[in-house]
Structure 1
Amino acid sequence: MKFGKKLLALTVVSVMSLSLISCGEKKDQSVLDKDKLILGFDDTFVPMGFKDSNGEYVGFDIDLAKAVSEKLNKEIEFQPIDWSMKETELKNGNIDFIWNGYSITDERKEKVEFSTPYLNNRQVIITLSDSKINTKADLKDKVVGAQNQSSAVDAIEADGDTITTFKDGKVVTFETNNEALMDLEAGRLDAVVADEILAKYYTKQRGAEKYKILSEDFGTEAYAVGMRKEDKDLVDAFNKAFNELVEDGTAGEISVKWFGEDIIAK
């Protein structure tokens, strides 16, 4: 009987030891050990990452990601996500990057580790060309829209009491910028606040004469790639790869392809 108890005790200890070793090995594993890295993005965000008429994922961020993947010698899978759930998707391990015109904010810094900034941006105010809105003050009592969980909303909320002057004292939010801009065209919104890079590309594609981008804005910011805080090795590898792409001119070429000029943050 005593022998049986001793044998049971030894078995339990052995199982626990193996579990601890297994946990230790898992803890020491790097995301860079994976052959494939998952990139989460909003597939409606032109010109950064979107689906073209052939159903292919294209855009500035898509091209830059492919160039970085070659430097890292890793395959990158492009995974469309609900942009309002981006940090949750990253935390849960469903994606390895948040990479799609992802603006650096203090709130986001608490949740993710940012890469080196790669583009600069403004949160601009877009109206129809015949609108009487010409300044930020003219947004008083107007219906203003923006993408849900976007840095546009953050920028508006950080701009003093401006939001309280909007109709109903709030921003009308949409799942995508495209939906917001379509409501602007339909007359259901008076203005949209969005990334300047998106705004210029969108209005150029649909007829710049139809729109007006105000000179006043809701502040400047920078785009970067978001990764998990514990994936320091991936952050370091990304930054090294990106810097090499800047130095060899590849990043600038991708910028010229999509924006007509080199606007890479340096």
Structure 2
Amino acid sequence: MKKIYKWLSLLLIAVVGLSLSGCESVTQRANTENTWNKIQRKKEVVVGLDDSFVPFGFETKAGKITGYDIDLARAVFKQYGIKVSFQPIDWSMNVTELRNGTIDLIWNGLTVTPERAKMIAFSKPYLYNDQELVSLKKSNIRNFNDMQGKELGTQTGSSEIISLDKQPKLLKDKIKNHQPVLYDSFTDAFIDLNAQRVSGLLIDSTYANYYIKHESTPNKYSTYVGAFPKSKLAVGVRKGDTTLRNKINDALVKMAKNGQLKKITKKWFGNQYDSPLLKKYDK
């Protein structure tokens, strides 16, 4: 009799467990499948960003969020009558914040990588970017070989870390301890570069060029683009949010065709940009 009761108890636990896991998976599917409906109902979409990442998305001294991706996001969702709210996040946790529902999108100079593609989906790429070595001219660092035994800085959770790990012979094997010094933001990294606590930074060229251009003494820096492949920038969405991703893609293509994407891109980068969407649709 005891064996029968024990068997029935185990069977009951298994059934309840399956029921709960089934409910959870249904809930998860509903959360992803209905994201666009939720956004439409609320007339609001929440975008996660690093609010110090010029010129893509950053906070001004007056406390206003501005930038290239800020303008793009607003222009995209204006087509659907939807307000964009920008949520500063820990950039190293961007995928986690997206997957747990804290934000609806990652839109802030996000690089498409195979590692990220395992966890999230991406919109059509809208900008190409180089990974650039930035140093002080007085340090006489002109290329990757000059970083032998020296300290290199980069941002935690950035695509630069992935590039260093994938092609270590290019730069990682040369630097001190074969590991970069990690920073919460590239703004912090530049502070240490200027104080000569690190010898160089591996950094997105669009960020570096914008930052240097707006420095009081821009000529004190040297930049070098090595052999790392160009990166593609896109909007990050949850894998199940197909409708949301399609809406973003449709709006970006429309903007590429009607000149709006080109206008916003030239506003922030002048004539120094490389956009796959504009190459294809700006005729």
TM-score (norm 1): 0.88
1:103 is aligned to 2:111: yes
**RMSD of the TM alignment (CA)?**
1.9
2:37 aligns to what? 33
**Alpha-carbon distance between aligned partners in 1 of 2:168 and 2:222, rounded to the nearest angstrom:** 24
1:4 aligns to what? none
Residue deviations 1:69-122 (CA, integer Å, cap 9, x gap): 112322211000000000000000010111100001110110110000000001
User: Which runs of no fewer than 5 residues in structure 2 stay unpaired?
Assistant: 1-18, 278-283
SS of the equivalent of 2:255 reads helix
1:168 is aligned to 2:171: no
1:184 is aligned to 2:193: yes
2:238 aligns to what? 228
Assess if the C-alpha contact under 8 Å between 2:29 and 2:240 holds in 1: no
**Alpha-carbon distance between aligned partners in 1 of 2:81 and 2:161, rounded to the nearest angstrom:** 37
Partner amino acid, structure 2, of 1:111: M
2:99 aligns to what? 91
1:265 is aligned to 2:265: no
Residue deviations 1:196-248 (CA, integer Å, cap 9, x gap): 00000000101320100014253311100000000011111110011011111
Kindly report which structure 2 residues correspond to 1:1-266, keeping only aligned pairs within 5 A, or say none: 27=30, 30-34=34-38, 35=42, 36-161=44-169, 162-206=171-215, 207-261=217-271, 263-266=274-277
Assess if the C-alpha contact under 8 Å between 1:142 and 1:190 holds in 2: yes
Once the two structures are aligned, what percentage of the paired residues are identical? 35
Deviation for aligned residue 1:24: 7.6
Pick closer, same or farther for the CA change 1:168–1:129 going to 2, 3 Å: same
Partner amino acid, structure 2, of 1:265: P
SS of the equivalent of 1:189 reads coil
TM-score (norm 2): 0.83
1:10 aligns to what? none
Deviation for aligned residue 1:129: 1.5
Pick closer, same or farther for the CA change 1:77–1:109 going to 2, 3 Å: same
**Alpha-carbon distance between aligned partners in 2 of 1:150 and 1:214, rounded to the nearest angstrom:** 18
Which 4+ runs in 1 deviate beyond 3 A? 23-26
